[in-house]
Amino acid sequence: MQIAVIGSGSEHEARAEEVGRLLAERSCTVVTGGLGEVMAAAARGAKEAGGTTIGILPGERRADANQWIEHVVVTGIGHARNLAVVASGDAVIAVGGSWGTLAEIGFARRLGRPVVVLDPGWQVEGEGIERAATPVEAVELALSAAEAVG
């Protein structure tokens, strides 16, 4: 199973790292946007727990990926790569995040991907969006939702 972890904000890195670690322990591949902060933390958590990571970069250079990305996808399409990040997840977990994350939540739901927002995070309500209080809960909800959709 592939789970996309989206978001930003250095204050959310510790929780993103735990999300990544928990996903790896559940044998899920972690898909992120491949850059820094939450993206790097989630990949680091997954990688250090022996998991697999995919980074989907906005730019044109493989070297832009953070060091915990095992499989690098270089898209060259800028922010439009946000669509690919969430589309590549069987479910999506949002950790912190700003406007790009909001775009990803919208795209994820547009494509029918379940979204879990780890508190605190975007206050967006709608079918297919659940909220979690902890990384453990976020991962549980994401895996359950992905299985239900699958």
Is the Cβ of residue 66 or residue 82 nearer to its own copies in the bound state?
Answer: 82
Q: Which is nearer to its own copies, 55 or 135 (CB)?
A: 55
User: Left, alpha or beta for 72 (phi > 0: left; psi -120 to 50: alpha)?
Assistant: beta
Q: Which is nearer to its own copies, 95 or 135 (CB)?
A: 95
Q: What are residue 73's DSSP bridge partners?
A: 56
Of 21, 40, 46, 37, the residue nearest 96 (C-alpha): 37
| Count of residues making up the chain | 150
> Shortest Cβ distance from residue 134 to its own copies (Å)?
25
Which phi-psi region, left, alpha or beta, contains residue 128 (left: φ > 0; alpha: ψ -120 to 50)?
Answer: left
What residues make contact with its own copies under the rule CB under 8 A? 2, 29, 52, 54, 56, 60, 62, 71-80, 82-84, 87-88, 90, 98-107, 109-111, 123-124, 126
User: How far apart are CB 49 and its own copies at their closest, in Å?
Assistant: 18
